[in-house]
Amino acid sequence: MKQIKVLGPGCAKCKTTYNNVLQAIKETGVEAEVTKIEDIEEMMKYDVLTTPVLMIDEVVKVKGRVADISEIKEFLTA
């Protein structure tokens, strides 16, 4: 099972990234646990300054922009 984290303070881009992750999971059928991290102190532990951040299995895949559904699907099936 993939571990997916979306880091961001709850801005529009962060919400879009989170929703894109859910849609990509639905379309691929990949089993994944999705965690949304909005707490600033928690985000600091990951040493990222620009949000939103998409992490899959503790690896930063996208930061500072919204991840496309097609892009997320590629990460999930790679």
Q: What is the pLDDT along the chain (78 residues), one digit of tens a residue?
A: 999 999 999 899 999 999 999 999 999 999 999 999 999 999 999 988 899 999 999 999 999 999 999 999 999 998
Instruction: Return the exposure string of 15-30: e unless at least 16 CB atoms fall within 10 Å of the residue's CB, then b.
Output: eebbebbeebbeebeb
Instruction: Report the topology of domain 2-77.
Output: Glutaredoxin (3.40.30)
Question: Which position among 14, 53, 66, 69 bears the catalytic label?
Answer: 14
Give residue 66's pLDDT.
97
State yes or no: is 14 an active-site residue. Answer: yes
Question: Which position among 11, 34, 40, 44 bears the catalytic label?
Answer: 11
- Say how far apart CA 54 and CA 75 lie, in whole Å: 10
* Model confidence, pTM: 0.94
Q: Order the strands of the 2-7 sheet from edge to edge.
A: 32-37, 2-7, 53-56, 59-63
Q: What ranges do the domains of the chain cover?
A: 2-77
Nearest to 8 by CA among 57, 74, 67: 67
